[in-house]
């Protein structure tokens, strides 16, 4: 009889699902004798998942630790076979963001939860620890992590090493510093306090059998003055929440009868920096909001609204062929988006344009009412907000944790090039791209090592090795076989390939002999507003005939394609419902 | 031909709706000649709604100013006839909260926007100014208001005069003080800075023809030590956001492998203070979350979870008859909710129980990891969070603005009792309940005045008057004909009656002669968890046979009844979709 027999009927039905899939058996459940009748209401399997010091958990599965919960890490956690591997995801945030729909959430076309997927799965085949990865010891096969449950940086784009992240209080910020609870009195005595953030946090080790680095990238400000403190980024859901609030706040402020007209013009001037798909899509979504909802709710404000999109390049949407890019730009012009190419942003600050005093007294602690963006071509321009959606920079974790000079991890690495009698006599470093800092990986996504060059050794003869149990995927990597763009599509395909390959070939030798990864370009699409999108087909040769689609067809393809990717059934259900509600009833503009 | 002919086709279809309802004509539109071709994309009617110094707007409608966007204010704004009145809502928050479903949002059964309705209507028959009401001049028929667009108190329960509101940083707080933008450089030069909050804000006057006070009440802490700073309230959506984050944070913290077992017990002990419907429903919703989602995602934590509900009274749910109350309590016990009646809460503080040092060093700026609730009966108990859902206190605005000694506002008031030759020779005050401070109103919701008693005058002979153009509805009032409970149902009915009566009888004389308000008790229902609710029928005589319903029938009635009340079509559509998604796929537990 089922070991759950002691439970009352009210619970059996709930837990029947758990029984039927037989998951609990694999994790060696034991009933906890809990004494009092009323506590018997809950079934409490005890597993060894909290015990990270043991390798595997005695049931024959290797323990795979995945660092990151973005496109690469999340898809991989779903693709690996949980019968073969014990899957542990370590990420500072407990959810995955479906980034193609993030723009929709900024303006209320979708709700934030519609674009999130929790890392934890309800049937518990994926385990999760909420922490930053700080360092890796390849010899001990251990990752040192730092708890991030209370970290205010979680959910926001990062623009630099965490200690230097701006403490400007955006409305969704949980400000760091003295206002934040310390866990010090709270944890096991032998846990170290440390970490790389502004405040110390508990750090602890997590062992692995296989490690997959999918930590992604940070947002690049190109060190433009004031951007880190004053811009709104568009990488994570915390950013989207801040943007949405700010947009609605600007309209509400401009409606106050006490704001003079010239100030209203500043408040309602929206600046977007970055002419790639993200920035253009945001401009499109904002334009939808204005045309469909603001025009009905705040029609008096329409005449003050401007949207300006800046880019240093002479052309926006460079990955599209000319006909499609022109069509997209024409759509934007119809919606009053001014596209300013070949503009160089030099500064972003709080205060009015051409106000030298405000320019001097940039108080970091006070969010601005009006901002000023200064470009080389136009000088000072007054704006309500600036959304920065350009450029990626290498993750500092990669720079820190993978910059060691290592002893040769004999168990984990094998020589792939060069002659070396005793590898342990040489010093080794992880191979990284000298320009971008990305991790160089082979077509099986294995991290590679190079020995420090000895006398007379060239690039072709210096000894190289590859790690059998450490992999890297996604934005943070660069394939030796040929660089790919840092997009969701690429990360998605890489993670799917690696998950399938590792599940099929758990043994490193057969894995090494399997066919390597090749990228299949499924095209690029960009939403251009007004329920239209442009889709560039797989033929990306700009000089050839582009198999592009336009207008409504692209839009339907786009929405349909999105729904079949990665979203859970909950969101596959709720996203169309939400779109339908917006179509019928308009967007909600409540600010809270 | 339509004045919109200059527009390109892309806009005509959008604005066709506006044309057809002919709303623009009433507001005297004029096309703004805007020169450049691309600006012609937006149609920009200019209205006089920003001009609050004019009485009415020249089209024959009286201007009705409604203070508040709760049940009474919001329902009234929808019920008044916009053909007869120009309706202006003044409220610090731009939305109405459908409070019966607020508990659902705390645990993720619904999304926050599903229970919000924006005050502004898309067809613009209701105008809105985001501000606190500070003071009223009955003689000038003017309300002085204080802009609240950037106010961090908006969206949270208020527990005392705004200057004293705690600055404890809850995750959704936009902290006040130096971190907050000042509008000073931004507004018209002749606008006064003032207000009652921690920071000065611009104040300006708004004239009215009729005024309706529906400002509601604050949350009562009974001055219990530490409650204002450390408790989570449940009155507004900002509170619900904070509660939801805290709940998920507690589970995520408890999952960290570095937290010892005894600390996990504190983290996962949830305390609720208040045995009325709100507190009991929150306990029920929390229990649903645990039983349906936490049991699948964090089964290891189940054995640590406790829910305790405290109340000073010997019985919970006193408005229900004994059989129904007992059924409800039995449901709660099955779900492991410990109901502790006759418990007096004496203190709520941060830190561990029986930790004298922590008790001394209560740093107001640091949110706690663990809290301690101290009751007279049990002493110190360690908890993860305390939700405070008991008690209402009078709104300080009422105390301040309606506490004046007035000159007799001859145009607006008429004598209803007593002999007085020359009313302007007497001093008058607004009638308020001496015990609670509520505004005393007659059965037509008119605000009443009493002359300061002269020699020899008794309560029956002292001159009294009623205002012809100042009304009050909702929680903030007390009917002279008999006090009613401060519930959504009462406020809803009052607002519907007043809206209908004012629309039918815009003239004060015919209004005075119409039949007065009578309350129709439609019953009370409380959700008890597990998709069950108890409904107490209209017969509220506890000694008689209660026409109660139990279990599943009550639940269906409850959900159906809610959907037909007050919610917009958008939410009437989205709420069932969301409930269905939760039923099929579980709740989302992502924290952001």
The total domain count for chain B is: 2
Partner-chain residue, chosen from A178, A202, A241, that has the shortest CB–CB distance to B258: A202
d(CA B227, CA B273): 11
Residue B167 lies in a domain: no
A519 Cβ contact list (under 8 Å, min separation 6) = A484, A490, A493, A494
The radius of gyration of chain B's CA atoms, rounded to the nearest angstrom, is 26
Beta strands in B30-183 (DSSP E): 62-67, 85-91, 95-97, 116-118, 126-137, 142-147
Are A280 and A380 found together in one domain?
Answer: yes
- Boundary residue ending a domain (A494, A521, A548): A521
Per-residue confidence (pLDDT) for residue A555, from 0 to 100: 61
CB contact under 8 A, A171 and B174: yes
Residue/partner pairs of B169-172 with CB below 8 Å, 24 or more apart:
B169/A174, B169/A175, B169/A179, B169/B365, B169/B367, B170/B232, B170/B242, B170/B367, B171/A174, B171/B241, B171/B242, B171/B245, B171/B246, B171/B367, B172/A172, B172/B238, B172/B241, B172/B242, B172/B245
Give CA B566 to chain center in angstroms: 14
* Conformation bin of residue A226: beta by default, left when phi > 0, alpha when psi is -120 to 50: left
Per-residue confidence (pLDDT) for residue B252, from 0 to 100: 86
Please, which residues bridge with residue A464 across strands? Answer: A417, A450
Determine the distance in angstroms separating the CA of B123 from the nearest CA of chain A, rounded to an integer.
7
d(CA B477, CA B388): 23
Partner-chain residue, chosen from A34, A46, A252, that has the shortest CB–CB distance to B300: A46
CB contact under 8 A, B34 and A303: yes
CB of B249 within 8 Å of a chain A CB? The answer is yes
Mean pLDDT by 10 residues, chain A (592 residues): 36 36 33 29 31 51 95 93 94 90 90 89 80 89 87 75 45 32 58 70 89 92 91 92 91 85 91 91 92 87 93 87 84 87 94 84 70 94 94 84 80 86 86 90 94 85 92 94 88 94 94 92 77 69 38 61 71 87 85 73
Domain containing residue A294: CATH number: 3.50.50.100
Residue to mutate among A90, A200, A258, with most B CBs inside 10 A, is A258
CB of A205 within 8 Å of a chain B CB? The answer is no
CB contact under 8 A, B297 and A124: yes
d(CA B379, CA B402): 42
Question: What residues make up the domain containing A488?
Answer: 58-160+189-219+391-521
B305 confidence band (pLDDT: 50, 70, 90): very high
Per-residue confidence (pLDDT) for residue B477, from 0 to 100: 94
The half-sphere exposure of B330 on its side-chain side, counting CA atoms within 13 A, is: 10
Are A451 and A412 found together in one domain?
Answer: yes
Q: Which two structure tokens, joined as six digits, stand for B301?
A: 């934590």
Are B256 and B201 found together in one domain?
Answer: no
Angle at B48 between CA B43 and CA B50, to 5 degrees: 100
Are A479 and A511 found together in one domain?
Answer: yes
Residue to mutate among A38, A104, A257, A329, with most B CBs inside 10 A, is A257
Structural contact between residues B340 and B310, judged by C-beta atoms closer than 8 angstroms: yes
- What is the residue-wise DSSP string for A77-97? HHHS-TTTEEEEEEESSSEEE
Terminal CA-CA length for chain B? 52
d(CA B269, CA B273): 13
Residue A296 lies in a domain: yes
Task: Enumerate the residues of chain A whose CB falls inside 8 A of the CB of residue B17.
Answer: 296
Task: Enumerate the residues of chain A whose CB falls inside 8 A of the CB of residue B529.
Answer: none
Structural contact between residues A200 and A147, judged by C-beta atoms closer than 8 angstroms: no
Structural contact between residues B529 and B284, judged by C-beta atoms closer than 8 angstroms: yes
d(CA A213, CA A73): 8
Residue A26 lies in a domain: no
Residue A538 lies in a domain: no
* CA distances in angstroms from B281 to A365, B231, B527, listed in the order given: 40, 17, 5
CB of A456 within 8 Å of a chain B CB? The answer is no
Residue B176 has pLDDT above 70, yes or no: no
Are A339 and A407 found together in one domain?
Answer: no
Partner-chain residue, chosen from B42, B368, B590, that has the shortest CB–CB distance to A181: B368
Mean pLDDT of B401-427: 84
CB of A323 within 8 Å of a chain B CB? The answer is no
- Boundary residue ending a domain (B322, B356, B389): B389
Q: Which two structure tokens, joined as six digits, stand for A263?
A: 């100030």
Residue A480 lies in a domain: yes
Residue A464 lies in a domain: yes
CB of B175 within 8 Å of a chain A CB? The answer is yes
Q: Tell me, letter by letter, the H, E, C secondary structure of B412-477.
A: CEEEEECCCCCHHHCCEEECECCCCCCEEECCCCEEEEEECCCCCCCCCCCCEEEEEEEEECHHHE
Are A237 and A266 found together in one domain?
Answer: yes
Are A230 and A132 found together in one domain?
Answer: no
Lowest mean pLDDT of B171-175, B211-215, B454-458, name the range: B171-175
CB contact under 8 A, B300 and A49: yes
Task: Enumerate the residues of chain B whose CB falls inside 8 A of the CB of residue A577.
Answer: 573-574, 577
Residue B472 lies in a domain: yes
Q: Judged by CB atoms within 8 Å, which residues 35-94 of B form the interface with A?
A: 38-39, 41-47, 49-52, 93-94
B590 confidence band (pLDDT: 50, 70, 90): confident
Are A377 and A229 found together in one domain?
Answer: yes
CB of A545 within 8 Å of a chain B CB? The answer is no
d(CA B384, CA A277): 44
Residue B12 has pLDDT above 90, yes or no: no
Per-residue confidence (pLDDT) for residue B557, from 0 to 100: 66
At B99-112, the pLDDT tens digits run 888 999 999 889 89
Residue B10 lies in a domain: no
CB contact under 8 A, A130 and B292: no
Which chain A residue's Cα is nearest to B203? A258
- Boundary residue ending a domain (B322, B355, B389): B389
Domain containing residue B500: CATH number: 3.50.50.60
Per-residue confidence (pLDDT) for residue B58, from 0 to 100: 56
* CA distances in angstroms from B590 to A65, A155, B249, B297, listed in the order given: 21, 11, 10, 12
CB contact under 8 A, B366 and A179: yes
At B499-510, the pLDDT tens digits run 999 999 999 999
Per-residue confidence (pLDDT) for residue A184, from 0 to 100: 56
CB of B15 within 8 Å of a chain A CB? The answer is yes
Beta-strand pair B439-441/B477-479: parallel
Partner-chain residue, chosen from A34, A149, A305, that has the shortest CB–CB distance to B253: A149
Per-residue confidence (pLDDT) for residue B335, from 0 to 100: 81
- Burial-class residue A213 by CB neighbours within 10 Å (0-12, 13-18, 19+): buried
d(CA B525, CA B559): 11
CB of A531 within 8 Å of a chain B CB? The answer is no
Q: Which two structure tokens, joined as six digits, stand for B364?
A: 């107001």
Per-residue confidence (pLDDT) for residue B551, from 0 to 100: 57
Q: Which two structure tokens, joined as six digits, stand for B29?
A: 């539109």
Per-residue confidence (pLDDT) for residue B43, from 0 to 100: 27
Mean pLDDT of B160-175: 43
CB contact under 8 A, B44 and A300: yes
| CB pairs < 8 Å spanning A and B | 287
B472 confidence band (pLDDT: 50, 70, 90): very high
Question: Which helix (H) or strand (E) covers residue B211, if one does?
Answer: strand B210-213
Q: Which of B355, B347, B356, B354 is nearest to B374 (CA)?
A: B347
Per-residue confidence (pLDDT) for residue B561, from 0 to 100: 66
Are B361 and B230 found together in one domain?
Answer: yes
Beta-strand pair A62-67/A85-91: parallel
CB of A25 within 8 Å of a chain B CB? The answer is no
Task: Enumerate the residues of chain A whose CB falls inside 8 A of the CB of residue B57.
Answer: none
Q: In a 3-state reduction of DSSP, which class is residue B556?
A: helix
CB of B362 within 8 Å of a chain A CB? The answer is no
Task: Enumerate the residues of chain B whose CB falls inside 8 A of the CB of residue A585.
Answer: 568-570, 573
Are B355 and B402 found together in one domain?
Answer: no
Mean pLDDT of B403-424: 84
d(CA A297, CA A148): 41
């Amino acid at each position: 009889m089922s070991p759950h027999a002691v439970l009352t009927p009210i619970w059996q039905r709930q837990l029947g699902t758990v029984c039927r899939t037989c998951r609990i058996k694999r994790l060696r459940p034991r009933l906890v004798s809990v004494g009092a009748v009323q506590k018997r209401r809950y079934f409490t399997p005890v597993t060894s998942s909290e015990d990270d010091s043991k390798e595997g958990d005695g049931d024959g599965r290797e323990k795979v630790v995945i660092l990151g919960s973005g496109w690469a890490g999340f898809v991989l956690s779903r693709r690996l076979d949980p019968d073969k591997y014990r899957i542990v995801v370590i990420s500072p945030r407990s959810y995955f963001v479906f980034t193609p729909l993030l723009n929709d959430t900024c303006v209320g076309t979708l709700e934030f939860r519609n674009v999130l997927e929790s890392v934890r799965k309800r049937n518990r085949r994926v385990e999760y620890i909420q922490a930053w990865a700080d360092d890796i010891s390849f010899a001990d096969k251990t990752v040192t992590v730092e708890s991030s449950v209370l970290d205010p940086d979680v959910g926001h784009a990062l623009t630099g090493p965490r200690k230097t992240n701006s403490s400007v209080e955006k409305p969704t910020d949980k400000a760091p510093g003295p206002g934040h609870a310390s866990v010090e009195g709270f944890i096991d005595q032998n846990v170290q306090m440390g970490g790389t953030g502004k405040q110390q946090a508990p750090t602890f080790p997590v062992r692995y059998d296989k490690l997959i680095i999918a930590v992604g990238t940070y947002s690049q400000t190109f060190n433009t003055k004031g951007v880190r403190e004053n811009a709104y980024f568009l990488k994570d859901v915390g950013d989207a929440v801040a943007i949405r609030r700010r947009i609605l706040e600007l309209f509400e402020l401009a409606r106050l009868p006490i704001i003079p007209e010239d100030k209203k013009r500043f408040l309602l001037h929206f600046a977007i920096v970055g002419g790639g798909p993200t920035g253009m899509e945001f401009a499109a979504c904002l334009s939808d909001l204005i045309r469909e909802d603001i025009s009905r709710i705040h029609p008096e404000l329409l005449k003050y609204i401007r949207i300006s999109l800046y880019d240093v390049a002479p052309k926006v949407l460079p990955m599209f062929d000319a006909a499609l890019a022109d069509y997209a730009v024409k759509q934007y012009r119809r919606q009053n988006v001014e596209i300013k190419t070949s503009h160089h942003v030099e500064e972003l600050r709080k205060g009015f344009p051409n106000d030298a005093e405000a320019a001097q007294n940039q108080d970091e602690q006070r969010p601005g009412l009006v901002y000023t963006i200064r470009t080389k071509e136009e000088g000072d321009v007054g704006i309500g907000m600036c959304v920065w959606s350009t450029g990626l920079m290498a993750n500092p974790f990669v720079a820190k944790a993978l910059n060691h000079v290592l002893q040769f991890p004999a168990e984990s690495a094998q020589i792939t090039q060069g002659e070396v009698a005793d590898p342990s006599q040489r010093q080794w470093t992880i191979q990284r791209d000298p320009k971008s800092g990305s991790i160089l990986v082979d077509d099986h996504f294995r991290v590679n090592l190079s020995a420090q060059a000895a006398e007379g050794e060239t690039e072709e003869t210096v000894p190289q090795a590859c790690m059998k149990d450490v992999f890297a995927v996604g934005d943070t990597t660069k394939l030796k076989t040929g660089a790919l763009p840092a997009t969701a599509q690429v990360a998605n395909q890489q993670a799917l390939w690696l998950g399938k390959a590792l599940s099929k070939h758990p043994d490193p030798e057969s894995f090494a002999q399997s066919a390597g990864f090749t990228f299949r370009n499924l095209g690029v699409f960009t939403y251009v507003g007004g329920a239209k999108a442009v889709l560039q087909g797989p033929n990306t040769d700009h000089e050839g005939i582009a198999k592009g689609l336009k207008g409504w067809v692209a839009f339907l393809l786009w929405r349909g394609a999105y729904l079949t990717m990665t979203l859970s059934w909950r969101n596959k259900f709720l996203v169309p419902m939400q779109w339908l509600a917006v179509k019928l009833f308009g967007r909600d503009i409540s600010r809270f």
